Amino acid sequence: MPELPIYPLSEEHKMIRDAARDFAQNEIVPIAAQFDESGEFPHETIKKMGSMGFMGIEIPEEYGGAGMDTLAYVLALEEICKADASHGVIMSVNNSLYCHGILKFGTEEQKKKFITPVASGKAIGAYSLTEPQSGSDAGTMRSRATRDGDFYMLNGRKSWVTSGPVADYFVVFMMTDPEKKQKGVSAFLVEGHTPGLTRGKKEPKLGIRASATSELIFENCRIPAENLLGREGEGFKIAMTVLDAGRIGIATQALGIAEAAYEAARQYAVEREAFGQPIGAFQGTGFKIADMKTRIEASRLLIYNAALAKEKSKADGGRYSLEASMAKLFASETAMYVAHQAVQIHGGMGYSRELPVERYFRDAKITEIYEGTSEIQRLVISRSELGLK
């Protein structure tokens, strides 16, 4: 099969893509089903991904990263997600929601202390915005951070934190001035072992079961005032800016899942025979294959476009919210479509836990939900197009 379309990738891009592909196929594919079944966190493979530079791809080498660009990040992440979406989201959150925000808004001291161990893969970073009563309407959070001399006292409950049970460091968003609503939100860097921070039970999930998710409970958790990220009241903007980067990661996760499901379905359509011919020769299956492939390549183009827009933003400081939201919206709905069709093409075998197709189907769904639901992406896109915000 020729690779479609032909992108002008640099030698460096091809190198990281191929390294990620080899690692993913040799080290992740053989264990993915077992970790999905047990729901165990894949500590060992994540550590190895850290030593290969995958946990901080865009982070400068001086802070422990690989010092590469967004396209390199997307190419590597795509390969990891094709093998297993759980490893993929751990990598995505570490790179974009955690490291990227500190790199963009942190002081020199914060970058050294909070990025270096995480970008080098020795520690794990997480991002905590959502609360039990505050999901899509992220500006309505109730948790409070109160200044207390040279410290802030954190109180409240955060939910759905990816890597929550295992992370060593967190970027956490809390209200410092509730009267100002969104403009009263601030961002904080919190070390995982700080007294007053406890982790809730691990969420039992439909998919991405090897990625650990939990609540965080803050009860008089005292952190140094120097752990404020950005300025007081700047937290909502930081959260949104960082989510633009995160959404490129989730779009890429969706692309990886879709590719894996598509490849399984294509193979099956060629090999499986019914009524004396391969099932792919029936238009009912062949047209599915055509639509799956076309949507996957369209997703890839939107993702690469968003990656280039993010790269441009590094130079001119502009936003790439539109490009990131379009990529996430289309790629996540493509992942759901492709995984659904892949199960259908496999018939009974698609429903069996003996093949990975049912896992792709379960893993695909989350990409339409976290880091902004499809409805939120449509809101961002339509507001941007209609000049409403």
To ligand CAA, the closest distance from the beta carbon of 372 in angstroms equals 3
- Buried b / exposed e over 3-18, threshold 16 CB at 10 Å, is eeeeeeeeeebeebbe
Q: Of residues 129, 172, 197, 248, which one binds ligand CAA by CB under 6 A?
A: 129
Tokens representing residue 37 in the block: 């079944």
Active site residue 131: no
Spatial distance between the Cα atoms of 361 and 316, rounded to a whole number of angstroms:
39
48 binds ligand CAA (CB under 6 A): no
Only segment of 105-113, 116-124, 214-222, 367-375 that touches ligand CAA (CB under 6 A): 367-375
Tokens representing residue 101 in the block: 């925000």
Q: Which of 104, 293 has the CB closer to ligand CAA?
A: 104
To ligand CAA, the closest distance from the beta carbon of 149 in angstroms equals 30
143 binds ligand CAA (CB under 6 A): no
> Please, are residues 385 and 329 in contact by the beta-carbon 8 Å criterion?
no
Helices in the chain by DSSP H: which ranges?
11-23, 29-38, 43-51, 70-83, 85-92, 101-105, 108-110, 116-119, 235-271, 283-316, 321-346, 357-366, 374-386
Q: Which of 256, 372 has the CB closer to ligand CAA?
A: 372
Q: Collapsing DSSP states into helix, strand and coil, what is residue 387?
A: coil
Number of H helices, E strands in the chain: 13, 10
105 binds ligand CAA (CB under 6 A): no
Whether omega for the bond prior to residue 356 falls within 30 degrees of 0, making it cis, is no
Q: Of residues 60, 67, 139, 200, which one binds ligand CAA by CB under 6 A?
A: 139
Q: Of residues 177, 379, 381, 384, which one binds ligand CAA by CB under 6 A?
A: 379
Name residues contacting ligand CAA, limited to 60-99 (CB under 6 A).
Answer: 93
237 binds ligand CAA (CB under 6 A): yes
Q: Of residues 243, 326, 327, 331, which one binds ligand CAA by CB under 6 A?
A: 243
Cβ neighbours of 279 (radius 10 Å): 19
Name residues contacting ligand CAA, limited to 321-340 (CB under 6 A).
Answer: 321
To ligand CAA, the closest distance from the beta carbon of 122 in angstroms equals 21
Only segment of 186-194, 257-265, 301-309, 368-376 that touches ligand CAA (CB under 6 A): 368-376
- How is residue 134 annotated by DSSP? B
From the list 127, 117, 85, the residue with the least C-alpha distance to 363 is 85
Total number of residues binding ligand CAA (CB under 6 A)? 26
127 binds ligand CAA (CB under 6 A): yes
Strands 125-128 and 169-175: parallel
Which is catalytic among the residues 358, 371, 375, 385?
371
Name residues contacting ligand CAA, limited to 150-209 (CB under 6 A).
Answer: 160-162, 182
Q: Which residue has the tokens 């080290």?
A: 27
Residues taking part in catalysis: 371
Residues of this chain that bind ligand CAA (CB under 6 A)? 93, 127, 129-130, 136, 138-139, 160-162, 182, 236-237, 240-241, 243-244, 319, 321, 370-372, 376, 379-380, 389
